[in-house]
């Protein structure tokens, strides 16, 4: 029995080098917050009124997924919507000191008059300089 455990341990250590570390990492988080105004890109999404928000994020290797719900409290900017739900997915690649990232986020407005829902995509590249 002890020999089998030692053999399994040695085999496990030997194969660790074959697995990319990014694929072995999983992270999850959830938050709930209250704010005086939901503001994005300098624009009020809650009409200058207090809002509640909650989000869930999951990372599995290179893939990130998130869901966020925010009260917009009848925001005129979004057709009188009472809330918005944002669903996002993204991934990234490291090419030496250059980091490439691709994201897609869907915004669904609950209780909006008319068709307010939309999807946005993003691509970014960044460069890391030194240990900072």
pLDDT tens figures, 32-54: 999 998 888 888 888 889 999 99
- The two three-digit tokens of residue 35, written as one number: 């704010």
Residue 80: strand, helix, or coil: coil
pLDDT tens figures, 94-132: 998 899 999 999 999 999 998 999 999 999 999 988 776
Give Dmax (Cα) for the chain. 70
pTM of the model: 0.72
């Amino acid at each position: 029995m002890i020999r089998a455990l030692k053999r399994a341990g040695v085999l496990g250590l030997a194969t660790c080098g074959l697995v990319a570390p990014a694929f072995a990492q999983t992270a999850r988080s959830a938050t709930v917050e209250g704010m005086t105004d939901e503001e994005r890109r300098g624009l009020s999404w809650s009409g200058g009124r207090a809002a509640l928000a909650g989000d869930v994020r999951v990372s599995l290797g290179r893939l990130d997924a998130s869901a966020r719900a925010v009260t917009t409290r009848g925001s005129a900017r979004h057709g009188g919507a009472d809330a918005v739900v944002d669903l996002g997915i993204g991934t990234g690649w490291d090419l030496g000191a250059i980091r490439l990232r691709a994201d897609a986020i869907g915004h669904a407005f609950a209780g909006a008059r008319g068709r307010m829902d939309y999807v946005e995509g993003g691509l970014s590249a960044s460069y890391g300089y030194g240990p900072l």
